[in-house]
Every structure is written in structure tokens, then in C-alpha cells.
Amino acid sequence: MNQRFVPVAVALLMVAGGAHAQLPLEPPRESGQSVTPAFEGWFRNADGTISLLAGYYNRNRSQILDIAIGADNRIEPGGPDRGQPTHFLTLRQWGVFAVVVPSDFNGTLTWTLTANGKPMSVPMRLNKDYEVEPLRDPGVGNTPPVLLFEAPGARFQGPPRGFGVSLAGRAGQAMTLATTISDDNVADPRHPAGETPLTVTWTKYRGPGNVAFGTPKFPVGKAGGRVSTTATFDAPGDYVVRAQANDVSGDGGSGFQCCWTTALIKVTVAP
């Protein structure tokens, strides 16, 4: 199926919370609003399993939220923890994580988020109209950028699957996060390429404290190369950092579900 026609907006409408729940299409405000989980689609992996791709829409323009795994942030059945984020940036975030299910999966997973007292849910199932192609845009042949980390085998391309990198640091001390980005540089007439079509963006995904990044978003020339930033964790504990690589297709591929790459990095922070 051509993923240009995936009705992601329909997923945003599949919400629960009772007759008095906030309308999903209510305009964003500065704070106090809901976070709507979004089912982006599903795709088959090379090993025969299936990935359910999900993101979210934080309707708050300035309120970044942390919602712990549990009653307010759960995926069922099989949860509540299925690898979803606990840190929610503002506005629309595409393809943030993927839940891997067996090749014979025929059920429904439901992701429920309660933010500012407003519960919102989305079902994730193998509707044929939601099959996407995040590893290759069939229209122009574009593929996602590749991120390489120093750890052996730590190569990422496309939606995240597991953790390929584990690091250690200390609270209050800046540590270096580094990767190497490369891309096929396929031209896309829908998105005229500028001088720096590649970017790597670093954000917190999970963790008990705040994370300050030296350079949260790093532009890279067409040739790619090494990208690094610093991260300072203000409290000890277990964190996950998200590295998102975008090419000329931009955030969310302008809704086409291709072509960007997400790497999830575990960081253990000592006191």
C-alpha cells in the first residue's frame, strides 16, 4: 500500500474518556490540555514479526509532561509497559516508538494516556489500510538516514526497535553523546533540499529527572558525518535518550511515515 493515504487523522479520533472528554480536534493551548496517542500504522519486519508504530500529539504549546508507566500511561494487553515514552514534548511527535508483535497477531493493543486529568486512548490493530512503508518511500525511492554508534552493531535506520546502545554517566556531570549520520541523499520534489537537509535531534524519552542537551538539534551537510552533543542529567537513575535523524523529508515525512530514523539509547546515571 502507498503510505500517503494512511488515515492517521482517523487514529487521532479514536479516543476514549467518556462523554465529557476533551474533543481531539480542540486547538492547542499553553497548558492544561490532553496528550493524544496516535497510531501511525504497521509494517512487517525482516524476521517476520510486525511492528505497530505510534506517536502522540501533546496539545500544550509550552507544557512538557512526564507521565509514568502505570494507570495513566499504559498499553494493554501485555502491559502496562510496552516501551512507550514517559516524557512528552509539545505538539505533534511522529513515529516515536514501535511495539513488536508476532507474525500471527490479530488482536488489538490499546494505548491510554491521562494528562491533566484528561484520558485519551487509541487502538492499534492490523487494519489493511494502515500498512505503511517507513523504510522506503515508494514514490521517490527515498530511504531513512543511517545512525551509527561506537558500540558494536549499533546501527539504526527507520523506526526504533529495542536498545542498541547503553551508556553510563554521573548526575550533574556533562557526558558526550555521539553518532555518525549518513544518507542516500535522494532528491524529493515535494521538499526542495537546502544546504543542510540532514539533522539529528536529541531529546529525553524516559527518566526520573531533567536532561539538558548542549545542542539539542544539530544540522549536518549532505555528506553526513559525526554528530555530538553533551547531556547533563540532574538526578541519578535510569534514562532513555532519543536520537532522531531527519533527511529532506522532514519531521514525520510530512505525514508519509517515511523517511526518518529513531535510535533509543539507555543511560544509567550514578549519583
Q: Are 64 and 204 in contact (CB under 8 A)?
A: no
146-270 classified as CATH 3.40.640.10? no
Q: What is the mean pLDDT of each run of 10 residues along the chain (271 residues)?
A: 41 39 61 94 95 96 96 96 97 94 96 97 95 91 92 84 88 96 86 73 97 94 91 98 93 83 96 95
What is the predicted pLDDT for the residue at 194?
A: 57
Q: What pTM did the predictor assign?
A: 0.87
For 11, phi then psi, to 5°, come to: -60, -35
What is the predicted pLDDT for the residue at 42?
A: 96
- Integer Cα distance of 217 and 255 in angstroms: 21
What DSSP string runs through the chain?
--GGG--HHHHHH---S-TTSPPTTSPPBSSS--EEEEEEEEEE-TTS-EEEEEEEEE-BSS--EE--SBTTEEEESS-S-SS--SEE-SEEEEEEEEEEE-TT--S-EEEEEEETTEEEEEEE---GGGB--TT--TTT-----EEE-SSTT-EEESS--S--EEEEEETTS-EEEEEEEE------TTS---S--EEEEEEEEE-SS-EEESSSEEEE-TT-EEEEEEEEESS-EEEEEEEEEE-TT-GGGGGT--SEEEEEEEEEEE-
What is the predicted pLDDT for the residue at 256?
A: 77
Triad 116, 122, 126: Cα angle to 5°: 160
- Integer Cα distance of 247 and 20 in angstroms: 41
Burial of 42 (0-12, 13-18, 19+ CB in 10 A): buried
For 201, phi then psi, to 5°, come to: -115, 130
Contact partners, residue 138, CB within 8 Å, separation at least 6: 2, 3
- Integer Cα distance of 264 and 241 in angstroms: 6
What is the predicted pLDDT for the residue at 25?
A: 58
What is the predicted pLDDT for the residue at 193?
A: 59
Give ranges for CATH 2.60.40.10 in the chain: 146-270
66-91 burial by CB neighbour count: b if 16+ within 10 A, else e?
bbebeebbbbeeebbebbbbbbbbbe
Which residue from 166, 156, 135 is spatially nearest to 227, judged by alpha carbons?
A: 156
